Homo-oligomer: A and B are copies of this chain.
């Protein structure tokens, strides 16, 4: 089909809607009532992998309270498929959706621009919004929730974190009765796939990345995944939802996994550990100043015990772990990405809106506050890996500097077989503050025997 042609019924629908602004206001008012036949009209923005899965799920259940009425995509003609009902209006003009009688707009475009503008316009037009857009929600979530509320509408974003795993609703509603103080997770399936492959077959980072790209688990440009930017946006959303703390993504430390070599998995194994990209946010209140709230948050590669639940998340799986004053540790895990699992989260959010149809938005969730202090520092044991040009006195030099910072060495590990010109060995350190350790490492990095910069990873137990 060379050109998008809306089906007859969709065209006649469109014909009823003049596009001047007065008409928009009318549409908006109309949208405030539940649809005539009690079904919610759904418009999809974006018909990629997730959008196609959402459409498939929405169209397979004729008894559903949800009906798919609009699909927007750039160059929509090449996306249009005959397998979906003829009533659906396909369009590449965003106005066709924003000025339509759709009750809910599902935003699957991604990115801040133009998605943010379209979401705001949809809310102002009296539509509810469901989005999988972690960047938008991590950046503008509170503002968009306020906007939705002011319009008597809802914005739901369960799909923005951990795909099919109901972590947001589990935390925000299922654990609403608790005070959570820590959230830890594996939130990026690409990194988890790469690291589990490096572990399983001893692959280098580059080889594992290439494999992930060939299998569709990594993008052509994987930088936002491997540098922690993607997971960081999700951690910001979880920090708001679970810890009630409002932070900006750039306030959270993100370290790349690109520095991890296959030798690190060998040493980690000797420590009964493996290496994963761990996202961690921890709220503390000092006993001296109970009104001051500190947040420690970071996305970084870390050692975790091989028998831990986190290490259990294989391949592209995700896991979210919460720690609460009363509930203790609660774990949510499953498929965090992919068209079908993410579509489940989107459709579940649509059901939530359908259940609440006609109802005013509920009470405000616990108000979020800005923490008084934000750092990426945790007081935990650490793993230090050096690649050095071997000569006598190296360990002594390292130990001297560490001792000066009050940091104790726990163990020294050295596998046989490395050349003297690039000898790889590991120190583990007893629990110490990572800020202090970073200062020591800065000094250590100045020493002249390094073949590559020292690698420092925290060791997180459960």
Contacts and interface: CB of A to CB of B under 8 A. Distances in A.
A170 B178 contact: no
A363 B354 contact: yes
Given A175-B344, A312-B312, A359-B359, A332 B53 contact: no
A358 interface: yes
Interface stretch (A1-9, A222-230, A320-328, A450-458): A320-328
Contacts of A324: 164, 344
A290 to B, nearest CB: 13
Given A169-B173, A175-B166, A326 B312 contact: no
A158 interface: yes
Contacts of A347: 176-178
Contacts of A175: 164, 166, 344, 348
Interface in A335-374: 335, 340-341, 343-352, 354-360, 362-363
7 contacts: A57-B326, A164-B178, A166-B169, A169-B170, A175-B344, A177-B351, A359-B359
A383 B267 CA distance: 38
Contact of A327 (B173, B174, B335): B335
Given A177-B349, A331-B333, A359-B362, 10 more contacts: A166-B170, A174-B345, A177-B347, A178-B348, A326-B340, A327-B341, A328-B335, A328-B341, A330-B332, A332-B332
Interface of A: 53, 57, 65, 158, 164-166, 169-171, 173-178, 309, 312, 324, 326-335, 340-341, 343-352, 354-360, 362-363
Given A173-B166, A352-B176, A65 B363 contact: yes
A242 to B, nearest CB: 12
B326 A53 contact: yes
Nearest to A322: B334
Contacts of A358: 360
A388 to B, nearest CB: 36
Contacts of A332: 170, 330-332
A175 B355 CA distance: 14
How many copies of the shown chain assemble into the complex?
Answer: 2
Contact of A174 (B169, B178, B330, B350): B169
A164 B334 contact: no
A53 B327 CA distance: 11
Nearest to A329: B334
A359 B357 CA distance: 10
B164 A348 contact: no
A393 B178 CA distance: 61
Contacts of A326: 53, 57, 164, 340-341, 343-344
A359 B352 CA distance: 14
A164 B344 contact: no
Nearest to A341: B327
B330 A164 contact: yes
A63 to B, nearest CB: 9
Contacts of A330: 164-166, 332-335
A340 B166 CA distance: 22
A329 B316 CA distance: 13
A355 B344 contact: no
B327 A344 contact: yes
Contacts of A351: 173, 176-177
A188 B37 CA distance: 44
Nearest to A325: B340
Nearest to A306: B307
Contacts of A177: 57, 343-351
Contact of A362 (B53, B331, B346, B356): B356
**Residue among A53, A327, A350, A356 having the largest count of chain B Cβ atoms under 10 Å:** A327
A142 B426 CA distance: 60
A324 B344 CA distance: 9
A326 B355 CA distance: 21
A357 B340 CA distance: 34
A354 B363 CA distance: 7
A312 to B, nearest CB: 6
A343 to B, nearest CB: 6
Contact of A348 (B158, B176, B348, B359): B176
A328 B362 contact: no
A212 B325 CA distance: 24
A289 to B, nearest CB: 20
